[in-house]
């Protein structure tokens, strides 16, 4: 197919979605200009300085089903910054490990061998997964995940031990209010997928090096432009294209790849998109908290990721890759923990860690990072917009656009790539 126009694309936001979009366009020869308000790339998955150490703004976890993300890392040459392990979820009194068997045997064998579940619970879990499989994991109408589990008569112990932790970790939204459809999508692509899809994938490079910095470098190497500390203040129409106040440039195509909470204000200069602004303006948010701990000596966790209790107890991650003795504790979603003074929270969590590991080495340093709008609340029937908008040349990329996934790295990367493909189709590229 003939290439008709290669006029440039301006991208507002250098998170994982904006960068995925930029790399894909740049690799297809489209001139790209990317503007990022912060002083580093990565958005909600970025590196931050902690007294000379580069840590993540929040502890992240990926799974083997994150195909688009892992593939993009391979393209950028950064996939040696990850470690893959077969799924092994361990919290006090419960353990689910999936053996290296072909699917679906890995799940059947894993469930049967799970510790901390009665046989009736294991059979109920298998029955639930079979019922979802029979409908292709599609629900006729979306509903709260807790209701779906109740309809399938899932025992309380199984819900507390298995389904609730998976839901809150993946959707960052409690079972009572989480979208059952997105919960089913996650189960389909993790537990019910190929064996490797359920692998846990840990970053062993900080979140800046893992993808964002290499992606920005790739864009520049392809002749594109990336600007940090460059906030787009407003976007308005200018002739057949658009004018971006802040960087003060004009472009015939604009991709909004900012946090969805920022979108309504940015769209204010485009009255044709007022309805879109209202839709996204109705989203609500869920926080995520990460407590970074630095001990005087390495702390050996029995697994790279260890649950410290039920409910909203934190998950601990060994992060010796950052420096010996670094451990992160992460807690999903809103809850009473966020109303505690940080020092009380730290001491409570240190006590939970010591309960699992025994006496801990001296604590040298700690840092609590709370991201208040870490993810959109993944509610039933959420009205997520597509990549295209009602205005020609205006596109959206971000974890919140229509898709199977909750607010995740994979959702962001898929959205960025899909947005680039739509732009390329419109350009008449191959």
Would you say 61 or 216 has its CB closer to ligand FAD? 61
Q: Does 165 bind ligand FAD (CB under 6 A)?
A: no
194: which residues sit within 8 A by CB, 6+ positions away? 64, 103
User: Among 27, 31, 38, 350, which residue sits at the site for ligand FAD (rule: CB under 6 A)?
Assistant: 38
130: which residues sit within 8 A by CB, 6+ positions away? none
Own/partner pairs for 192-195, CB < 8 Å, 24+ apart? Answer: 192/103, 192/104, 192/107, 192/129, 192/132, 192/133, 192/137, 193/64, 193/65, 193/103, 194/64, 194/103, 195/86, 195/98, 195/100, 195/101, 195/102, 195/103, 195/106
User: Among 28, 33, 44, 161, which residue sits at the site for ligand FAD (rule: CB under 6 A)?
Assistant: 44
Integer-rounded Cα radius of gyration of the chain: 22
Q: How far is the CB of 212 from ligand FAD (least distance, A)?
A: 9
User: Among 47, 48, 50, 60, which residue sits at the site for ligand FAD (rule: CB under 6 A)?
Assistant: 60
Q: How far is the CB of 424 from ligand FAD (least distance, A)?
A: 19
339: which residues sit within 8 A by CB, 6+ positions away? none
Q: What are phi and psi of 209, to 5 degrees?
A: -75, -30
Q: Which parts of 219-258 interact with ligand FAD (CB under 6 A)?
A: 231-232, 257-258
Q: Does 158 bind ligand FAD (CB under 6 A)?
A: no
Q: How far is the CB of 246 from ligand FAD (least distance, A)?
A: 7
Would you say 288 or 322 has its CB closer to ligand FAD? 288
Q: Does 32 bind ligand FAD (CB under 6 A)?
A: no
What gap in Å lies between CA 335 and CA 272, rounded to an integer? 38
Tell me whether strands 62-63 and 200-203 are parallel, antiparallel or unpaired: antiparallel
Q: How far is the CB of 61 from ligand FAD (least distance, A)?
A: 4
* Residue 36: how many other CB atoms lie within 10 Å: 27
Tell which residue, 184, 165, 211, 204, has the closest CA to residue 68. Answer: 211
Would you say 50 or 128 has its CB closer to ligand FAD? 50
Q: Which parts of 73-102 interact with ligand FAD (CB under 6 A)?
A: none
What gap in Å lies between CA 292 and CA 264, rounded to an integer? 33
Q: Does 365 bind ligand FAD (CB under 6 A)?
A: no
What gap in Å lies between CA 238 and CA 241, rounded to an integer? 5
Q: How far is the CB of 281 from ligand FAD (least distance, A)?
A: 15
User: Among 8, 43, 314, 380, which residue sits at the site for ligand FAD (rule: CB under 6 A)?
Assistant: 43
Would you say 86 or 269 has its CB closer to ligand FAD? 269
Q: Where are the beta strands (DSSP E) in 47-206?
A: 47-50, 53-56, 62-63, 82-85, 88-91, 94-97, 200-203
User: Among 409, 418, 423, 424, which residue sits at the site for ligand FAD (rule: CB under 6 A)?
Assistant: 409
Q: Which range touches ligand FAD (CB under 6 A), out of 71-79, 112-120, 183-191, 259-267?
A: 259-267
Q: Do 408 and 189 contact (CB within 8 A), yes or no?
A: no
What gap in Å lies between CA 328 and CA 58, rounded to an integer? 9
Would you say 90 or 414 has its CB closer to ligand FAD? 414
Q: Do 306 and 356 contact (CB within 8 A), yes or no?
A: yes
Q: Does 13 bind ligand FAD (CB under 6 A)?
A: yes
Q: How far is the CB of 285 from ligand FAD (least distance, A)?
A: 10
Q: What are phi and psi of 20, to 5 degrees?
A: -60, -45
User: Among 28, 161, 188, 259, which residue sits at the site for ligand FAD (rule: CB under 6 A)?
Assistant: 259
Query: If you ran DSSP here, which 8-state letter would residue 161 be given?
Result: I
Q: Does 385 bind ligand FAD (CB under 6 A)?
A: no
Would you say 189 or 410 has its CB closer to ligand FAD? 410
Q: Does 288 bind ligand FAD (CB under 6 A)?
A: yes
Q: How far is the CB of 391 from ligand FAD (least distance, A)?
A: 18
Contacting positions for ligand FAD (CB under 6 A) = 12-18, 35-38, 43-45, 58, 60-62, 231-232, 257-259, 262, 266, 288, 290, 371, 374-375, 398-399, 407-412
């Amino acid at each position: 197919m003939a290439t008709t126009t290669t006029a440039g694309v301006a991208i507002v936001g250098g998170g994982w979605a904006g960068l995925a979009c930029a790399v894909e366009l740049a690799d297809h020869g489209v001139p790209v200009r990317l503007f990022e308000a912060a002083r580093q790339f990565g958005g909600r998955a970025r590196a931050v300085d902690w007294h000379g150490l580069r840590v993540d703004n929040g502890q992240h976890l990926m799974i083997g089903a994150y195909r688009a993300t892992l593939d993009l890392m391979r393209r950028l040459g950064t996939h040696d910054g990850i470690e893959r392990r077969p799924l092994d979820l361990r919290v006090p009194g419960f353990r689910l490990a999936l053996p290296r068997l072909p699917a679906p045997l890995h799940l059947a064998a894993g469930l049967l061998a799970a510790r901390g579940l009665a046989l009736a619970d294991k059979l109920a879990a298998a029955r639930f997964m079979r019922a979802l499989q029979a409908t292709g994991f599609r629900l006729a109408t979306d509903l709260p995940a807790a209701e779906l589990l109740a309809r399938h008569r899932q025992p309380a112990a199984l819900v507390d031990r298995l389904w609730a932790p998976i839901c809150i970790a993946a959707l960052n939204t409690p079972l009572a209010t989480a979208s059952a459809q997105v919960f089913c999508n996650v189960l389909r692509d993790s537990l019910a997928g190929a064996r490797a899809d359920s692998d846990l994938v840990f970053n062993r490079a900080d979140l800046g090096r893992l993808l964002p910095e290499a992606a920005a470098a790739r864009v520049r190497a392809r002749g594109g432009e990336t600007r940090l500390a460059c906030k787009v203040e407003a976007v308005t129409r200018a002739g057949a294209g658009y004018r971006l106040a802040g960087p003060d440039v004009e472009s015939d195509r604009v991709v909004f790849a900012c946090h969805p909470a920022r979108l309504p204000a940015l769209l204010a200069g485009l009255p044709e998109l007022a309805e879109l602004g209202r839709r996204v303006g109705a989203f609500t948010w869920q926080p995520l908290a990460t407590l970074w701990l630095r001990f005087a000596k390495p702390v050996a966790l029995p697994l790279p990721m260890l649950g410290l209790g039920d409910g909203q107890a934190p998950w601990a991650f060994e992060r010796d890759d950052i420096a010996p003795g670094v451990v992160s504790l992460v807690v999903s979603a809103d809850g009473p923990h966020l109303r505690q003074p940080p020092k009380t929270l730290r001491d409570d969590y240190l006590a939970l860690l010591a309960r699992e590991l025994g006496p801990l080495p001296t604590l040298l340093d700690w840092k609590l990072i709370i991201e208040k709008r870490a993810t959109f609340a993944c509610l039933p029937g959420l009205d997520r917009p597509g990549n295209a908008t009602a205005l020609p040349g205006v596109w959206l990329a971000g974890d919140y656009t229509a898709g199977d996934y909750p607010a995740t790295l994979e959702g962001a990367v898929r959205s960025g790539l899909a947005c680039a493909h739509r732009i390329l189709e419109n350009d008449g590229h191959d």
